[in-house]
Amino acid sequence: MLQYAHTYYCILVLLVGTAVADYKYETKLFNVPLDHFGYQRNETFNIKYLENEDHWDRGDGPIFFYTGNEGQIELFANHTGFMWDIAEEFRAKIVFAEHRYYGSSMPFGNKSLDNDHIGYLTAAQALADYAELVNFLQDNRLKPRYPVIAFGGSYGGMLAAYFRMKYPHLVAGAIAASAPIHMFPGMLPCNVYHRIVTSSFVVANITCKENIKQSWSVIRNFVTTKNNTDWLHKQWKLCDPIKNTTDVQNLIDFLQSMYETLAMVNYPFATDFLLPLPAYPVRTVCQYLNQKLTGQKLLVAIGHVLEMFTNYTGKSPCVDYKKGNDYGNLNASGWDYQACTEMVMPMCTTGESDMFEPNPWNITKVSADCHKKYNVYPRPDVARLEYGGDRLLAASNIVFSNGLLDPWAGGGILSSISDTVKAVVMIDTAHHLDLMPTNPNDPESVKIARSEHKRNIQQWIREFQQQREHEKKL
Amino acid sequence: MLQYAHTYYCILVLLVGTAVADYKYETKLFNVPLDHFGYQRNETFNIKYLENEDHWDRGDGPIFFYTGNEGQIELFANHTGFMWDIAEEFRAKIVFAEHRYYGSSMPFGNKSLDNDHIGYLTAAQALADYAELVNFLQDNRLKPRYPVIAFGGSYGGMLAAYFRMKYPHLVAGAIAASAPIHMFPGMLPCNVYHRIVTSSFVVANITCKENIKQSWSVIRNFVTTKNNTDWLHKQWKLCDPIKNTTDVQNLIDFLQSMYETLAMVNYPFATDFLLPLPAYPVRTVCQYLNQKLTGQKLLVAIGHVLEMFTNYTGKSPCVDYKKGNDYGNLNASGWDYQACTEMVMPMCTTGESDMFEPNPWNITKVSADCHKKYNVYPRPDVARLEYGGDRLLAASNIVFSNGLLDPWAGGGILSSISDTVKAVVMIDTAHHLDLMPTNPNDPESVKIARSEHKRNIQQWIREFQQQREHEKKL
């Protein structure tokens, strides 16, 4: 997930340049009602899902079901290597289901994201889509035959957990990776996300964080003359010159977003997940900022960071700092809308607990912006009422995994709630590394987490089979 | 609940002549969104709820929350004496929440039941209304202060169970009385309901059942001449003469519905619940049918049954056999719509396992009728997918109580599913007697059931308080 500075609608995004993995799947369509919870609208439409049965035991092998999140489903399929890595061992069928209103699962074609049509984009409707799909995959059996294990990362992890919580009769258990289910209004201070981003830089090098913290006033003071903005334009290889205060703000937002992303994808190996970056990118960029810098020297150093962030492959001619939420091959419109309706996650910066300029979170302003943009007002309490935040004592068979280097971990479940709602904490990993393919550079923590996952999945399958045996006898 | 013969949309109804109880409550309104699961429609409207705090411990006393079903909420408040009877002991606040689209909780005023407006009448939307109301009653606290116990009978019992299943973070436990949550397509044979109705008459007197079973052909053979229909019109005090085959069918449907209702409300005391009747009405009416009768003698006897059923108080001038679903002071339109959308409960008669004329259940015919009437097609699987039928291993803190004289018991949970999803079976009681006020004639079984309920409620409150203490320490 990406979190965009300034507007503070968090963007939970997987951006993939080119697919690295060579996973094979069939692409299929499944018809669902537009509205599962009412009958005023009788339209139906197709959601897409990807399926692989290479290793499946058709007798009673499990179904590994990825609850797709905000993006084209192929992106998730290509980057959730953990499911592919363990499918053979579990003799599992693999299914990746695309979330309505993303990718090509559009209820109203290219008009789906219009304000007149977008209103059926909610987590509850997506979960009901998945429920119907799972039922179809079980051949509409009253007593399902295959244990279904839900997987998801980020918002997809929230959905995986919610899927088990709301549909335990359909889902045997859920691996919810980096799922900030405790990030709704009132649940935690709004500055947590950026405090963790900042920590990530402190861990790399405290001076690095100090330099970044100083940089905002240095930039603002510097860009007051045409000479200086021309210099910066050239030095930072900006696509557009800095002409006014909006441009300055865009540039600062872009930088803040860059630091957040670096913290989120601070993986122990080079990857093009989100975007192409070297191993441990925070540590790497901090090499430019590991001694106290001021003035233009600081700006030159940040230029190197920008270069690494935007042009690690050497193919990007300039820094497109104005592009805002139109990021890569993902249309983030859908998520912006979700953040304006039910996925209200307060985020703020203080300039004290974090290395950013102070920027409060204000529901009144968020509401006004959302109403202007989408003609809706957020319902800030609805996610808590529907899904309960961390009040999960009655839930079961969910693993919440989080890496402490991940800014989203602040909204995650970091200690086990019960014997069957467990937390797995990886102290040295970033955003849902445990769902990614095995890598020689994986730290011990993620290896342990994956063993934990496998052990839990085995347990859930056993329970399902016991129940099934019991049902057969009835 | 009533089940109407022939059309086979079961009508889950509480019909009350005059309120017998003297329960006091404040009547309040609570604003809810029309659509909880989408944002295309931004209307809100008020649902009604009734509140009594006479015995409430405002420090941390529980909230007894009745999840209103298909009818005016006052009807349920006045006949759910169990909640009132135990409120003082538990120092509980009592709340009865009215189901959207019933009573005066109408989203679109007197146009609410029009086909253009009725589409937001679903169990899921009603449950989400209740979730918001419970949150309001907790003063919107992140960590709720008062344990909430859900109560409901019949469809209200289904809602109470579903409320705990879907919102366990808001509801500590549920007493689900006579809730046929296992009555959806494929779950049980369609003839079960009428088999139990028939058993009820067999238990009273086997000859009674034989007479009823014979009566259908006797009636049909008899009403072929004007003389005979005139005789029957007068003998049975019918409001309207029998002029054609539709009238004959209406009369037969009315009689079938009468026997079903008698079985359902076969209470050990005289009551005006549903309609005024003596104690053990099945046994009472069978006194007219306890020896083998044929021809007009049988018709005379059934005339006595009709008289007792329709005119126990002596105030009803004639038998209005054509009134169909317009029954008493309840507008059953809403439930007919629910039966045509998500509450699809197959019902059939075979003439072999029951004492009625054979009448198969046919989803194609039901669909066509529903489409004609409401412009909707039923989604026969949706209740199973949303609520799981009897696959409740992951649920907790629910008591399902059923009386074995109740035809709806066939769709109930009759054996405990786990330590925390328990069945309470009363062998000699009818439709949710356990929720009614204490009566000197109560059989032992219902007294035991109520003690069981109280013990479970205490346990759920203790658990809630332990959780609350734990949260305080965090």
Give strand pairing partners of B11.
Answer: B2
| Three-state secondary structure call for residue A152 | strand
Angle between helices B206-222 and B295-310 (to 10 degrees): 110
Chain A residues within an 8 Å CB radius of B377: 42
Determine the Cα–Cα distance for residues B406 and B206; give it in Å rounded to an integer: 18
Please check whether residue A100 touches B, CB under 8 A: no
Confidence of residue A470 (pLDDT cuts 50, 70, 90): confident
B386 CA to chain A: closest CA distance, Å?
7
For the record, the structure tokens of B121 come out as 């009448």
The residue of chain A with its CA nearest to that of B460 is A394
The mean pLDDT value of chain A amounts to 92
Interval B145-165 mean pLDDT: 97
A150 CA to chain B: closest CA distance, Å?
16
pLDDT at B1: 53
Please check whether residue A318 touches B, CB under 8 A: no
pLDDT at B324: 63
> Which of B30, B37, B337, B413 best probes binding to A when mutated, by most A CB atoms within 10 angstroms?
B37
Q: Is B442 a catalytic residue?
A: no
Question: Is the predicted pLDDT of residue B20 greater than 90, yes or no?
Answer: no
pLDDT at B9: 35
Please check whether residue B185 touches A, CB under 8 A: no
Q: Are A336 and A195 in contact (CB under 8 A)?
A: no
Interval B262-288 mean pLDDT: 89
* More confident: B466 or B6: B466
Interval A324-347 mean pLDDT: 78
Instruction: List, for residues B92-141, the tens digit of each pLDDT value.
Output: 999 999 999 999 999 999 999 999 999 999 999 999 999 999 999 999 99
Interval A184-207 mean pLDDT: 95
Please check whether residue B473 touches A, CB under 8 A: no
> Which of B34, B35, B39 best probes binding to A when mutated, by most A CB atoms within 10 angstroms?
B39
Residues A122, B382: C-beta atoms closer than 8 Å: no
B37 CA to chain A: closest CA distance, Å?
6
Residues B393, A467: C-beta atoms closer than 8 Å: yes
pLDDT at A273: 74
Residues A37, B131: C-beta atoms closer than 8 Å: no
Q: Are B78 and B20 in contact (CB under 8 A)?
A: yes
Please check whether residue A440 touches B, CB under 8 A: no
pLDDT at B333: 79
pLDDT at A178: 96
Q: Is B117 a catalytic residue?
A: no
Question: Is the predicted pLDDT of residue A137 greater than 80, yes or no?
Answer: yes
Interval B417-445 mean pLDDT: 94
Residues B122, A37: C-beta atoms closer than 8 Å: yes
Please check whether residue A391 touches B, CB under 8 A: yes
Please check whether residue B170 touches A, CB under 8 A: yes
Residues A122, B37: C-beta atoms closer than 8 Å: yes
A328 CA to chain B: closest CA distance, Å?
28
- Catalytic hit among B105, B112, B154, B445: B154
Please check whether residue B394 touches A, CB under 8 A: yes
CB atoms within 10 A of CB B362: 14
B380 CA to chain A: closest CA distance, Å?
12
ipTM: 0.93
Q: Which helix (H) or strand (E) holds B374?
A: helix B363-374
- DSSP β-ladder status, A63-67 and A26-33: unpaired
* Total beta-carbon pairs less than 8 A apart between chain A and chain B: 119
pLDDT at A7: 38
List CB contacts of A464: < 8 A, sequence separation 6 or more.
A147, A172
Interval B393-415 mean pLDDT: 96
Confidence of residue B332 (pLDDT cuts 50, 70, 90): low
Interval A433-441 mean pLDDT: 94
The residue of chain A with its CA nearest to that of B40 is A119
- Residue by residue, DSSP assigns A7-76 as T--EE----BSS-------EEEEEEEES-TT-SS---EEEEEEEEE-TT--TTT--EEEEE--SS-HHHH
Task: Measure CB to CB from residue A38 to each of B116, B125, B395 and give the nearest one.
Answer: B125
A36 CA to chain B: closest CA distance, Å?
8
Confidence of residue A415 (pLDDT cuts 50, 70, 90): very high
Phi, psi of A417 (to 5 degrees): -95, -30
Q: What percent of chain A has pLDDT over 70?
A: 94
Query: According to DSSP H, which parts of A91-205 are helical?
Result: 123-137, 155-166, 192-204
Residues B39, A128: C-beta atoms closer than 8 Å: no
Please check whether residue B168 touches A, CB under 8 A: yes
Residues B135, A381: C-beta atoms closer than 8 Å: yes
Q: What pTM does this model have?
A: 0.94
Please check whether residue A41 touches B, CB under 8 A: yes
Confidence of residue B464 (pLDDT cuts 50, 70, 90): very high
Instruction: List, for residues B2-19, the tens digit of each pLDDT value.
Output: 553 333 333 443 333 334
Residues B38, A40: C-beta atoms closer than 8 Å: no
Residues A341, B39: C-beta atoms closer than 8 Å: yes
For the record, the structure tokens of A227 come out as 């000479």
Interval A353-377 mean pLDDT: 95
Q: Are B281 and B203 in contact (CB under 8 A)?
A: no
pLDDT at B162: 98
| Three-state secondary structure call for residue B28 | strand
Residues 327-386 of B with CB under 8 A from A: 341, 375-377, 379, 381-382, 384-386
Instruction: List, for residues B166-213, the tens digit of each pLDDT value.
Output: 999 999 999 999 999 999 999 999 999 999 999 999 999 999 999 999
Give strand pairing partners of A32.
Answer: A45
Q: Is B154 a catalytic residue?
A: yes
Question: Is the predicted pLDDT of residue B273 greater than 80, yes or no?
Answer: no
